Amino acid sequence: MAVFKDIASLRQWRQNLRGTLVLIPTMGNLHDGHLALVRLAAARAEHVLVSIYVNPLQFGPREDFAAYPRTLDRDLQRLHEAGCQTVFTPDDGLMYPRGRQDICVVMPPHSLSKVLCGANRPGHFAGVCTVLSKLLHIVAPEILILGEKDYQQLRIVQQMVADLNLNVQVLPAPLQREADGLAYSSRNAFLSPTERRIAPLLAETLFDLARRSGGRTAVSDLRMAGWESLEQSGFLPDYLELRDGQTLQPLSVPQTGARWFAAAHLGQTRLIDNVIVP
Ligand code: AMP
């Protein structure tokens, strides 16, 4: 497996490459959800490149950038076993050589980025779009794979690719869950054993709401019932909303492609999840 740490040698490798290249951007601490993306990529293209970079630009001042789990040796081992041939592991000096202040950034559209996770995380999605556009320019893949776990991120990046005419196909990957329904996430590592037992109730609540949407109960009543049951289970919900899967605008009546979105704190850990209305 080739591991690139600088841009010049990666670009040289890229210039000589024949066949389709997929980029899977990650922040490392890889779990089975990430590895499912690698398998999807390998089925779609000849070459798979995984980037591992904890992007400081997308973390707020009070967020967990310093504590974010960094497990590079184990990640490389897991990628090697999963059949990934190429990895890019830039550092901050390579990605932001002039620092993080007073640099060009990519600003996502207000309607997609100031709602849900963007409402309480100012600058988060501009940080995501900026690092992803840098990675797309450096790696120049034909296909970009993003997981539906971060559904809002997926929609914003799809819009960025369309609005900026980026020459890449965005391929969404289905959300991967543990056997008990909890969405795989690097942040699950922060959960205490008691919190880990409670955590699947987030997905359970969303599946229950999705199943009951379109029935007799109004969306506002479903939302209130879901919120209360999360609180009773020990979550501190951040948001719980039914939104359109394309525009991410709130819905009072379920329609095709609608999704329930949730973010909730469990102790110190913030979990997110989303479920499509069948
Ligand atoms: P991250 O390392 O958290 O930035 O995630 C890297 C990529 O993996 C993103 O496109 C995520 O949406 C995707 N991903 C993370 N967890 C999951 C999951 N449980 N199912 C599917 N994709 C995921």
Quick one: what percent of the chain has pLDDT higher than 90?
Answer: 96
Chain segment 107-117, per-residue pLDDT in tens = 999 999 999 99
**Dihedral sign of CA atoms 122, 109, 161, 276 in order:** positive
Distance 75 CA to ligand 1 centre (A): 14
CA dihedral 74, 83, 189, 125 (to 10 degrees): 110
Distance 149 CA to ligand 1 centre (A): 6
Catalytic residue among 34, 47, 124, 265: 34
51 lines ligand 1 (CB under 6 A): no
175 lines ligand 1 (CB under 6 A): yes
186 lines ligand 1 (CB under 6 A): yes
Tell me what the mean pLDDT of segment 118-122 comes to: 93
Three-class secondary structure of residue 72 per DSSP? helix
Our answer to whether residue 34 is catalytic in this structure is yes
Tell me what the mean pLDDT of segment 253-269 comes to: 95
Q: Which residues pair with 88 in a beta bridge?
A: 4, 51
User: Exposed, middle or buried, 4 (CB in 10 Å: 0-12/13-18/19+)?
Assistant: buried
Distance 51 CA to ligand 1 centre (A): 12
Chain segment 55-89, per-residue pLDDT in tens = 999 999 888 899 999 999 999 999 999 989 999 99
Task: Check whether 220 has a pLDDT greater than 90.
Answer: yes
To test the pocket of ligand 1, the residue of 29, 128, 150 to mutate (highest count of ligand atoms within 8 Å of its CB) is 150
Three-class secondary structure of residue 231 per DSSP? helix
Determine the pLDDT at residue 196. 98
Residue nearest to atom 22 of ligand 1 (CA): 147
Q: Are strands 258-266 and 236-244 parallel, antiparallel or unpaired?
A: antiparallel
54 lines ligand 1 (CB under 6 A): no
Tell me what the mean pLDDT of segment 16-39 comes to: 98
Determine the pLDDT at residue 215. 86
Q: Which atom of ligand 1 lies closest to the CA of 185?
A: 16
Tell me what the mean pLDDT of segment 194-209 comes to: 98
Determine the pLDDT at residue 257. 92
Residue nearest to atom 11 of ligand 1 (CA): 147
Determine the pLDDT at residue 80. 95
29 lines ligand 1 (CB under 6 A): no
Q: Which atom of ligand 1 lies closest to the CA of 31?
A: 16
Determine the pLDDT at residue 214. 86
**Dihedral sign of CA atoms 76, 82, 84, 88 in order:** negative
184 lines ligand 1 (CB under 6 A): yes
From 66, 19, 80, 6, select the one nearest 45 (Cα to Cα).
19
Going by pLDDT thresholds of 50, 70 and 90, the confidence category of residue 241 is very high
185 lines ligand 1 (CB under 6 A): yes
Going by pLDDT thresholds of 50, 70 and 90, the confidence category of residue 14 is very high
